[in-house]
Structure 1
Amino acid sequence: MKTLKWMRAFAVPVFLVASMGAARAETVRVAIGTQDTTINCATGGLMIRELHLLDKYLPHDGKYKDVQYDIQWKDFTSGAPLTNEMVAGRLDFGAMADFPGTLNAAAFKKAGKKSEFITVLSGSTEGSGNGIVVPVGSPVHSLADLKGKTISVPFASTSHAMLLRAIKAQGWDPETDVNIITQAPEVAGSALKAHKIDAHADFVPFADLFPYRGFAQKIYDGSQTHAPTFHGALVNVDYAKQYPEIVVAYLRATIEANRLMAQDPEKYSLLIEKVTGIEATVDYLYHGPLGLQTRDLTWKPEYRQAVASAIDTLKLLKKTDVELDANSIIDDHFIREAFKESGLDYAAALASYAKQPLVANDAQTGKPITRFYDVAQIWVEGESKVRSYAQPQEAFGALESLTKQGRQVRAVFAQDHGTGLKLLAGQAWYVRSANGQIAAFLLRTSADTYAKQVSGNVVDYASARADVAQALAAR
């Protein structure tokens, strides 16, 4: 009776009184900053969130026995605002590229704190993923044609570093031989459409997305710089010290997302498209077999070097005055533990440089495909799996049949004959040999060189398809 009088006097709800006698469960925040439109971060953010993978691995024993988790997600279009949120203590994890990740570490150090890279998510030891595009119809076919021209790029990004290296390789002075201006991808897209810039350098996925959308032509791939690049995940070190098991849980979720993507890249490319609006075709270009980048979660020497190069370049650009050491902002012990708990061999993965393999039979002959530099693929609308062909001419022949049947095609892919680089077939140059064989190339200059070697002719995509159609009709 006394309790009821006390409750009425102070207007305390009955359910609150009941809970006051119970032990309060600790709530642990897990706040993750993502970059959904930077699609090679997908296995460290978007997929974990959309498939609720983190829930499977968060600990619920020991000191976490009575813990309740407050999982928070926040999406960003670039690394800088994500870093601001991390430094302010509103995020615990973040996903970004080597350059903004290095700025993240510098910002933390300036604030008397520390952040560390804990895993690579996706990257290229050669530099693929970054690229340079020009407006459709431009007379520019290679980087060498850009002397004296205006090139835009997101400043202090990984693509900015790629551009500076590419210019240096030409023997040019970036201050006088070209006009470099800063533009975000969304601004550059409009500028390319209006032919207001001569070229644009950008990171994943824009150097391939703009060409796919039909208003740009890719003339340079970052792999030509042979300078490693990657996107990875970082953590606030204070948080990692307090909750190391949660860091490992996040990485185990990343490992599972990576496995799912490898098993069914078409399905999860469609998921990325649904969430971000970036076409599944471009997502598959990166995440599918023989893709532009590898989803490599290990700390290869090349990725450590990418961080060291980022530190040096950012100092050169006067974007940071904080002293950093690459090894001090990379911590591989969490990802090693996550591999161990997932039953995987970290040492074997560290030693492997292989792309996601293509295990497929030729859609025309039914025979297993064993040579991959001339593979071509077709993603037919409504089909759950991409069709693979051993040669471009086989794929182009199949396209003629599909067209006659009124079937819609999402995209056609080809592999650069010289480098193995995965290409959107409509963006490639082709060499037609006298025996009817067709080889694809990203660069017109590479196609010209090969044509001389085989006494072939260089043609564009439309002409290559027309040649195959004519040959079929003559049979």
Structure 2
Amino acid sequence: MTSNRRTFLKQASWIGAAAATAGFSAGFAPLARAATTVNYGGSAWLGHYAAYVAMKTDIFTKLGIDCRWQSFSTSSARMGAVMAGNIDIAGTGVVSALALMANGAKQFQLISTPNNFGKSEGLLVRSSVKSLADLKGKKIGVTYASSSHVLLLDVLRQANMDPARDVSIINLPANELLTAYRGHQIDAAAAWTPTFDRIKALPDTKLLLDDSSFSLYKPYQLTPGPDVLLVRTAFASAHPEVPKAFLQGIAQASDMMTQSPEKAAPILMTLTNLSEDEQLAILKQTQWYSHAQQKALFVGSGGKPGPFVDGVQKLSDMLVDLKQIDQSPKVADWINATYL
């Protein structure tokens, strides 16, 4: 979910029958062609759930895709693999993509956004904290160059607080935030799921704010680092039908997670190692975009860029103001909505 110079950088047998009935495959006819191998860059983050479900069921197979999963611990490592030509299609937080776009990288195109995770990320604090102002002089843990980092910087700015003087921001890997918070090494944590949910469940802890407090959330429904799917430009040129089929599979898996999360959860638990209750909670608190919704977000009326594209442009400009990237790219130049 989470590269530039500043380090921006879950089978279930039921699905065969389900996909053939009303629901998950409606409107998505399998393509009559030999299976094409797609090297996919993913992780246990929810932005990759749809790809994992489609791979672990027969969704991708019926669409002529042989998906080979490669896991990466960071978005920067995943994007590095895309740039090196080792990954064909990937999911990533848009921040890491923007950092490369700001440097002129043309090796990839943004082709969709699969979800809205605004309720799965936020700032967690001790119960005594009533507002951001109560965090003055406190230590806040966050993973630098992540969507949680952008959220923290933005809400501090909204509260007229200086992140360099009013608080101490501690850079911690996502998998270390829980231990640091539980051990009182930090007073608050900005995190995303599953760390977000695990910290929130601790005694004497509450959610101060989530992504709905982000400046661009209300006007654009945009989280601080929305998930995007991208394709390597050279791969798309060589296999122009594959990205389209891939997005059809993503949409079918998203429909399943929306309509039958209790059936998707056991599949995903092999990826995330979450309990069934934890997995179901994440599935239910996340908005999984349908194919039509993805298209509407990328393509506006009259063929103009859709609201998601406009929002990411605003986010890019904000990252410059927050001194996270040096310049703001023209986001529309990296958008390819034809596969939707």
Partner of 2:198: 209
Deviation at 1:171, TM superposition (A): 1.4
Corresponding residue to 1:34 among 42, 48, 54: 42
Q: Determine which structure has more spread, i.e. the larger CA radius of gyration.
A: 1
Q: Is the 8 A contact 1:30 1:72 kept in 2?
A: yes
**Partner SS state of residue 160, structure 2:** coil
Corresponding residue to 1:184 among 148, 173, 192: 173
Partner of 2:113: 120
**Partner SS state of residue 246, structure 2:** helix
Long gaps (5+) in structure 2? 1-33, 217-221, 298-305
Tell me how far apart the structure 2 counterparts of residues 322 and 170 of structure 1 sit (CA, whole Å).
Answer: 25
Deviation at 1:242, TM superposition (A): 1.8
* CA gap 1:99/1:31 in 2 versus in 1, 3 angstroms: same
Corresponding residue to 2:259 among 259, 263, 275: 263
Tell me how far apart the structure 2 counterparts of residues 93 and 192 of structure 1 sit (CA, whole Å).
Answer: 35
Partner letter of residue 122 of structure 2? G
Give a deviation string over 1:47-95, Cα, whole Å, max 9, x none.
122114211112xxxxxxxxxx764210123211100111111001110
* CA gap 1:293/1:184 in 2 versus in 1, 3 angstroms: farther
Tell me how far apart the structure 2 counterparts of residues 292 and 54 of structure 1 sit (CA, whole Å).
Answer: 22
Partner letter of residue 45 of structure 2? T
* CA gap 1:210/1:83 in 2 versus in 1, 3 angstroms: same
Deviation at 1:134, TM superposition (A): 2.4
Within 5 Å, which residues of 2 pair with 1:202-241? 202-212=191-201, 216-227=205-216, 228-229=222-223, 230-241=226-237
Partner of 1:459: none
Partner letter of residue 201 of structure 1? A
Q: Is the 8 A contact 1:120 1:231 kept in 2?
A: yes
Long gaps (5+) in structure 1? 1-25, 59-68, 336-475
Please give the TM-score of this superposition, normalised by the length of structure 1: 0.56
Give a deviation string over 1:387-428, Cα, whole Å, max 9, x none.
xxxxxxxxxxxxxxxxxxxxxxxxxxxxxxxxxxxxxxxxxx
1:150 aligns with 2:175: no
Deviation at 1:314, TM superposition (A): 3.6
Partner of 1:468: none
* CA gap 1:32/1:322 in 2 versus in 1, 3 angstroms: farther
1:132 aligns with 2:129: no
Give a deviation string over 1:374-399, Cα, whole Å, max 9, x none.
xxxxxxxxxxxxxxxxxxxxxxxxxx
Partner of 1:293: 287
Partner letter of residue 115 of structure 2? S
* CA gap 1:294/1:249 in 2 versus in 1, 3 angstroms: closer
Within 5 Å, which residues of 2 pair with 1:366-381? none
1:272 aligns with 2:277: no
Partner of 2:19: none
Root-mean-square deviation (Å): 2.5
**Partner SS state of residue 114, structure 2:** strand
Partner of 1:251: 247
Q: Is the 8 A contact 1:93 1:233 kept in 2?
A: yes
Tell me how far apart the structure 1 counterparts of residues 55 and 253 of structure 2 sit (CA, whole Å).
Answer: 10
Tell me how far apart the structure 2 counterparts of residues 298 and 280 of structure 1 sit (CA, whole Å).
Answer: 31
Give a deviation string over 1:85-112, Cα, whole Å, max 9, x none.
11111001110122123235446x34xx
Count of matched residue positions in the alignment of Structure 1 and Structure 2:
289
Q: Is the 8 A contact 2:177 2:195 kept in 1?
A: no
Partner of 1:5: none
**Partner SS state of residue 201, structure 1:** strand
Partner letter of residue 46 of structure 2? I
Deviation at 1:302, TM superposition (A): 4.2
Tell me how far apart the structure 1 counterparts of residues 316 and 310 of structure 2 sit (CA, whole Å).
Answer: 10
**Partner SS state of residue 261, structure 1:** helix
Deviation at 1:141, TM superposition (A): 3.6
Tell me how far apart the structure 2 counterparts of residues 30 and 190 of structure 1 sit (CA, whole Å).
Answer: 37
User: Structure 1 residues 315-324 or 253-262, which shifts more?
Assistant: 315-324
Please give the TM-score of this superposition, normalised by the length of structure 2: 0.76
Deviation at 1:204, TM superposition (A): 3.6
Identity, % of aligned positions = 25
Within 5 Å, which residues of 2 pair with 1:305-320? 305-316=310-321, 318-320=323-325
Deviation at 1:247, TM superposition (A): 0.6
Partner letter of residue 280 of structure 1? E
* CA gap 1:279/1:304 in 2 versus in 1, 3 angstroms: farther
- Highest RCO, 1 vs 2 (Cα 8 Å, sep ≥ 6): 2
Corresponding residue to 1:54 among 57, 60, 72: 60
* CA gap 1:254/1:274 in 2 versus in 1, 3 angstroms: same
Tell me how far apart the structure 1 counterparts of residues 307 and 139 of structure 2 sit (CA, whole Å).
Answer: 31
Partner of 1:168: 157
Partner letter of residue 99 of structure 2? L
